[in-house]
Amino acid sequence: MVAVDRLGESVESMEQLVTVWRRMVLDRDGRADVRDLPGIAVRWADCRFPFWNCLALTEVGADPALVARRLAEAAEIMRAKRLPGFLWVFEDLLDPAALPALDAAAGRAGLAYAFPGTGMAGDLPALPEPRHPDLTFVRVATDEHLRRYADLNSRAYGFAPEQGRDGLDGSALWKETVHAYLGLRGETPVTCAGAVEAEGRLFVALVATDPRWERRGYGEAVTRKALYEAARATGLARATLHATSAGAPVYTRIGLRPNSPVRFYALP
């Protein structure tokens, strides 16, 4: 029963990604490459923010031969693009026999392992209004807020500032629809998180903390704020997200639990 529940949450995690990323990449460019191919979801804005350039394997139970074929197809799509991005592979969706040779199969397709992540989901308890003694929370509502939000993501993930800004500058979606918040220490933004409604769930995206201000509970506090306000506005209580290895313990404390490990691949 546990395995079935985990697989269901892993499918949910993949489906939430492809649903939300459709909106995110079309927000950047209405001509973005958004396609649902056999076994591959294409969500590619071809912008300088690498996370908006996304492919994901979508089949459940793909065996080693099918996975190898999909990896080769994904690599071919990525090589045709102007700017780099990532292929997301949800481990729990694959036939277990495909896992031991996954990195080798990716290498034969011309892809390099980039970093790990994990899907997470949970039915949230009633959240008290979040507070942190160091922080003031401000909802993203202006272009200047968006630039600050983008710059925090660039610093957290090691991107150049113009890459993060290319992902968010001028976005109406992030100012009007996403419940996106900055956490300010005095006048300085040090952390950020966003939550958006997606198919009856709250999807958490682009959580980041300035590396100079990590390990103070700021990321947890601003994520709680985004979820609290999104839940209050929508009445929804189930949340999903994709976490880095470092971020996963933060979300466990909020009430989410991990499902599928995710492997990110890129062209070398």
What are the CB-based long-range contacts (under 8 Å, 24+) for 127-130? Answer: 127/224, 127/227, 127/228, 127/231, 128/228, 129/228, 130/221, 130/222, 130/224, 130/225, 130/228
Same domain for 8 and 82 = yes
For 197-248, write each residue's pLDDT tens digit: 999 999 999 999 999 999 999 999 999 999 999 999 999 999 999 998 888 9
What is the mean pLDDT of the segment spanning 23-39?
96
pLDDT score of 2 more than 80: no
Report if residue 111 sits inside a domain: yes
Pairing of strands 238-243, 201-209: parallel
Residue 151 lies in a domain: yes
**Which residues lie across from 182 on neighbouring strands?**
138, 192
Which pLDDT score is estimated for 126? 85
84 and 174 in a single domain? The answer is no
Angle at 72 between CA 71 and CA 78, to 5 degrees: 85
pTM over 0.85: yes
8 and 112 together in one domain: yes
Contact 208, 191 (CB under 8 A): yes
For the segment 94-139, what is each residue's pLDDT rounded down to a tens digit?
Answer: 999 999 999 999 999 999 999 999 999 999 988 889 999 999 999 9
Does some domain include residue 263?
Answer: no
User: Rounded CA gap, 247 and 30, in Å?
Assistant: 31
Residues 41/87, Cβ–Cβ less than 8 Å: no
CA distance 190 to 148: 9
| C-beta separation of 262 from 117 below 8 A | yes
- Among the candidates 54, 87, 118, a domain finishes at 118
118, 146, 169 - which closes a domain = 118
Per-residue model confidence (pLDDT) at position 22: 98
Q: Are residues 174 and 72 in the same domain?
A: no
Give the tens place of pLDDT for each residue, 140-176. 999 999 999 999 999 999 999 999 999 999 999 999 9
Same domain, 72 and 103: yes
Residues 6+ apart with CB under 8 A from 94: 57, 61, 62, 67, 102
Residues 178 and 218 in one domain: yes
Domain boundary among 118, 152, 186: 118
Query: How many distinct structural domains can be found in the chain?
Result: 2
With 0-12 CB in 10 A as exposed, 13-18 as middle and 19+ as buried, what is 2?
exposed
Q: What is the pLDDT of residues 234-265, one digit of tens each?
A: 999 999 999 988 889 999 999 999 999 999 99
pLDDT at 1: 30
Residues 108 and 11 in one domain: yes
Helix (H, G, I), strand (E, B) or coil at 100: coil
* Domain that residue 112 falls in: 2-118
* 222 in Cβ contact with 192 (< 8 Å): yes
CB-CB contact of 20 with 53 (8 Å): no
Q: 163: part of which helix (H) or strand (E)?
A: helix 161-168
Calculate the alpha carbon distances from 232 to 119, 129, 193, 222, 235 in Å.
Answer: 24, 10, 16, 15, 6
| pLDDT value at residue 246 | 82
